[in-house]
Structure 1
Amino acid sequence: MNIIILGAGRVGESVAESLVSERNDITVIDTDPRRLVALQERFDLRGVAGNGIQPSVLREAGAEDADMLIACAPNDETNLVCCKIAHDVFNITTRIARVRSEEFPNGSELMGKSGFAVDQVICPEESLTTYIRKLINYPEALQVLEFAGGKVSLIAVRAITGGPMVGHVISELPTLVPEVEMRFVAIYRTDELGVDQQVICNGSTRIEPGDEVFVLAATSWIRQVLDALRLRDQPVRRVIIAGGGRVGLRLARQLKKDCRVKIIEAEAARCEYLTSQLPGHVLVLNGDSTDEDLLQVENVSECDLFMGLTSDDEDNIMACLLAKRMGARRVLALINRSAYADLVQGSQIDIALSPAHTVIGELLAFVRRGDVEAVYSLRRGAAEALEAVARGDRKTSKVVGRRIDEIPLPPGTQIGALVRGEGDDTQVIIPHHDTVIQSNDHVIVFLPRKRMVREVEKLFQVSAIFF
């Protein structure tokens, strides 16, 4: 596909990195030539310096032949106007805009073709808030990702001693947890050098303490799956948020009814704004989240979840490390640099969350070929999970009417779950080697490496004779 990306910031860079690796033709527009030079040195893409709302700049970027525009410049206004011009002047088929404001939701008249002509609105802050909220609901989990309208979930959890499955092989699952159907799709284990290695996942694989385990199951079984791999954590009731920016404010609004929330914000003016936006029982503190005395006074040792959500990676890391050392039960750090996230994940910091990767999945679902409903990046972009809909019949499809063991999946790739039927007749099926895929099944596939995505997409493309 020919794709134009407006904006070479953190989100734009992450999107470009993901799409270039899948052999798309990428052109990035940005007003800062230095950013473009840095991107061109790292990736096989083209850079165009200029303002993306100017038709001449879009034309130079190849808008007349483009299949998609992804507008992720810092300003909402720039992204909206760019999508409008892309539609009216260049007739670009698909237009995606990053919009932070809550006044421009998906499906509104303003986003229609008579308005700003945006096919999909992406809001990183909303995506992050939704993601973190799931982790709060299931404090034992490292990731909780939903498929098929929420009917199936992929859960990442670190196994610890005491869980019924820990220390046992996967083939013992029906005996140890007989009432729950689940599929282990991947296990990552730290070797003696401290490097994460993927472990072959089959019936003879033994789950060891410290393993990072990815499990697919019906969403209704999430709690039982977590209980099988570790002792249940107490619910999150006391929360401290370091950083009162957009994400911190959104999260505080969502948690105000269920949790005791404190926000630590360094800027006095922002504290005044937060106070005006939140109810009185949410405590807003003007201070430094890396101040040990402040954390001690605010009883960080009694905190169920401490979150570093400022715009500074180093501050988030240091605040979380300090809070953990002082007794916070669980800490989460927002980290933009992927190298930092890889470095601290699984250390004293329980969860290292990359804002860009929470958005990538939403964008990738629009880029994928075939009938792909959802895509998620896993392990900070190293692996992926996707939901594809099987179409056609045995003559027109490479998957419909075939047993799982007849489908030529790339090595290490697993079909972890099927969702069949609609409404009250919906079934969540954990397939075996002899399970036959039917037309209109939603198929959840785990891919250990991104480069396998194209091969899987081709499997779900129907031939030209299918109508």
Structure 2
Amino acid sequence: MEKKMKIIIVGFGKVGSTLTEQLYSEGHDVVVVDLLEKKLETAVSDYDVMTVQGNGASYNVQLEAGVEEADLLIAVTASDELNLLCCLIARKAGQCHTIARVRNSMYNKEINFIKEQLGISMIINPELATAREIAKLLRFPSAIQIDTFARGRAELLKFKLRPEFGLDGLRVMDIMEKLNCDVLVCGIERKEEVTIPNGNFVLRDHDNVSIMATPQNASKFFSKIGVNTHRVKDTLIIGGGKITYYLAHQLLDMGIRVKVIENDKDRCLQLSNLLPKANILYGDGTDETLLLSEGLHNTQSVVSLTNFDEENLLISLFAMKHSNAKIIAKVNRITFNDIINELDIGSVVYPKYLTANYILKYVRATQNAQGSNVETLYKILDKRAEALEFCIRENSPVVGVPLMELNLKDNLLLCCINHKGKIIIPRGQDSIQVGDTVMVVTTNTGLRDIRDILK
């Protein structure tokens, strides 16, 4: 079974603190390294972890942090080069796995070379990861959030139940019969409550509903309830930072028209050279007149990516009022999740959570190198539940038994089986086989092995 890991986190910023919180709550031994004493005091008071003050790229500082016994070192300081150097020294000083955050797009084409030559286990670029997430949402604008499983063959989509869908008051099992679609309702968020529903659960308008399906069946389901499933034709991006560069690149490749408003003249020139097919405008994205004169009324999507969370949220609210666009806002610092959810502004992306989630997936996979390990992990339902993908590598008490005969934990749903590339939305008579990957949604956190789904 899994073992507790010893993990060193270098850099206690937004991502560092999010990771510390998650890994500490899962029972790992965490040591935080940072130059600033004030940050370390926060780490100790919030999470009761070990800390070392100093430069994480120093051999002696790493020794003090216990690199010789560590399983993993994660470098998430503000400097790419420092992160790479931390990992290089950790590889030489100990025998641990290493993860570096690298943000400079210049290194992007060299990532594989850097990984191999420096022996780094994983390199994460938060801006690129965020851009991919946003592009996914613009491909399917009715969804608030999309997580992919089985290498893209299955998707978990979250959407808001609107009165015009005509599903209010129906039970989950009635919907399946009424629409005759192979989708599974896996989670409901209603105000403060999060539920993993059974067939008798009654849906209400304004619920946030998460469904698991293949991309084709999800499209079929949405078109039957009268939801637009076509990707957007154009997008207006406010702010011209790194995420915008990666996002515009992807959208232009998908044939989507891109207009960017940026208030720094030099950056506009830079973006014009980098993105010749995009329409780059010099101006203030918070100027209502400018937004309206640039066709806000008719645009199909608005993405707010300025450096100020408050601006992104206000621009989104303004865009909601003056258009029918798909709206996406980036939030970096603000932690008033419940208030942001109440604003109902479409999709909100949090780069720090995305980055932490990628790293957590890696930690889980490393932890269980054998048996049935967690291939994929997403925090879903407002971070209060997990969607996990298990790879079944050996026989166990769950293999070959009809699902209806398994004594599953409460608040847990087996929502998808990938059997040799065929996606099965499971019913009671289906069973899990060796070689399958299995998707589970649950509010029980910390599942490590497929056997953990049993009571």
TM, length-normalised to structure 2: 0.91
Query: Who is 1:137 aligned against?
Result: 139
| Counterpart in the other structure of 2:440 | 445
**Deviation (angstroms), 1:436:** 1.9
Tell me, yes or no, if the aligned pair for 2:99 and 2:123 is still in contact at 8 Å: yes
Correspondence 1:98 to 2:98: no
How many Å separate the matches in 2 of 1:71 and 1:365? 16
Structure 1 pair 362–34 and aligned structure 2 pair: CA distance change class (3 A): same
Distance in 1 between residues matched to 2:217 and 2:40, nearest whole Å: 46
Shift of 1:149: 1.0
Q: Report the Cα distance in structure 2 between the residues aligned to 1:125 and 1:269, rounded to whole angstroms.
A: 20
* Partner Cα distance (2:433, 2:19) in 1: 33
* Separation in structure 2 between the aligned mates of residue 343 and residue 457 of structure 1, nearest angstrom: 36
Distance 1:299 1:337 in 2: 30
Match of 2:157 among 149, 155, 158: 155
Aligned partner (choices 346, 350, 368) of residue 346 of structure 2: 350
| Deviation (angstroms), 1:199 | 3.9
Equivalences for 1:357-372 in 2 at 5 Å?
A: 357-368=353-364, 369-370=367-368, 371-372=373-374
Q: Secondary structure at the match of 1:131?
A: helix
1:327: how far off?
A: 2.4
The change in CA–CA distance for 1:391 and 1:209 in structure 2 (over 3 A counts) is same
TM-score, with normalisation over the residues of structure 1?
0.89
SS in 2 for 1:8: coil
Instruction: Trace 1:23-422 onto structure 2 (pairs within 5 A).
Output: 23-92=27-96, 94-102=97-105, 103-104=107-108, 108-112=112-116, 115-163=117-165, 165-178=167-180, 180-190=181-191, 196-199=192-195, 201-229=197-225, 231-232=227-228, 235-257=231-253, 258-279=255-276, 281-337=277-333, 339-368=335-364, 369-370=367-368, 371-393=373-395, 397-421=396-420
Which AA in structure 1 matches 2:103? R
Which string of whole-angstrom CA distances, capped at 9 and with x for unpartnered residues, describes residues 395-446 of structure 1? Answer: xx2322333345454320111010011xxxx221111233221112101011
Q: Give the aligned residue type for 1:51.
A: N
Contact 2:304 2:329 in 1 (8 A): yes
* 2:427 is the counterpart of 1:427: no
Higher relative contact order (CA 8 A, sep 6+): 2
Contact 2:183 2:218 in 1 (8 A): no
Superposed CA offset, 1:333-369 (max 9, x none): 1012352343212524111111122223321222224
The residue identity in structure 1 corresponding to 2:363 is: V
- Match of 2:193, as an amino acid? Q
Q: 1:348/1:157 Cα in 2 relative to 1: closer, same or farther (>3 Å)?
A: closer
| Per-residue deviation, residues 124-151 of structure 1 (Å, max 9, x unmatched) | 1111111111100100001111111111
- Superposition deviation, residue 79 in structure 1: 1.1
- Secondary structure of the 1:210 match is coil
CA-to-partner distance for each residue in 1:162-200, whole Å, 9 max, x for gaps?
33645422222343222x31111111112xxxxx21245
Stretch moving more, 256-265 or 143-152: 256-265
Secondary structure of the 1:141 match is coil
The verdict on how the C-alpha distance between 1:8 and 1:186 changes in structure 2, with shifts beyond 3 A counting, is: same
Q: Which residue identity does 1:419 align to in structure 2?
A: N
Letter in 1 for 2:349: L
State the 1:159 CA deviation: 1.4
**Partner Cα separation in structure 2 for residue 213 and residue 338 of structure 1:** 24
Q: 8 Å contact 1:389–1:460 — kept in the other structure?
A: no
Q: 1:457 aligns with which of 432, 449, 452?
A: 449
Q: 1:290 to 1:446 in 2, by over 3 A?
A: same
Shift of 1:118: 0.7
Q: The residue matched to 1:162 in structure 2 has which SS?
A: helix
Describe the shift of the 1:174–1:221 C-alpha distance in structure 2 as closer, same or farther (beyond 3 A): same
CA pair 264-218 structure 1, distance change in 2 beyond 3 A: same
Letter aligned with residue 231 of structure 1: V
3-state DSSP of counterpart to 1:86: helix
The CA distance in 2 between the partners of 1:146 and 1:311, in whole Å, is 28
Residues 200 and 150 (structure 1), Cα distance of their counterparts in 2 relative to 1, 3 Å cut: closer
- Residue correspondences, number: 441
Identity %: 30
Over aligned residue pairs, what C-alpha RMSD do you find? 2.2
Could you tell me whether the CA contact under 8 Å between 1:338 and 1:380 is conserved in 2?
Answer: no
Q: Which stretch of structure 1 is more off in the superposition, 219-228 or 146-155?
A: 219-228
Give the 3 Å change call, closer, same or farther, for CA 374–290 of structure 1 in structure 2: same
- The equivalent of 1:16 in structure 2 is 20
**Matched residues in 1 for 2:223 and 2:315: separation?**
30
For the residue of structure 1 that corresponds to 2:417, the secondary structure is strand
Alpha carbons 1:187, 1:201 under 8 Å: kept: yes
Letter in 2 for 1:313: D
Note the C-alpha offset of 1:239.
1.2
Alpha-carbon offset, residue 16 of structure 1:
1.2
User: What are structure 1's unaligned runs of at least 5 residues?
Assistant: 191-195, 462-467
How many angstroms does 1:284 deviate by?
Answer: 1.7
CA distance in 1, matches of 2:214, 2:220: 10
Distance 1:216 1:317, change over 3 A: same
Separation (CA, whole Å) in 2 of partners of 1:249 and 1:107: 18
**Structure 1 residues 227-236 or 94-103, which shifts more?**
227-236
Contact 1:390 1:399 in 2 (8 A): no
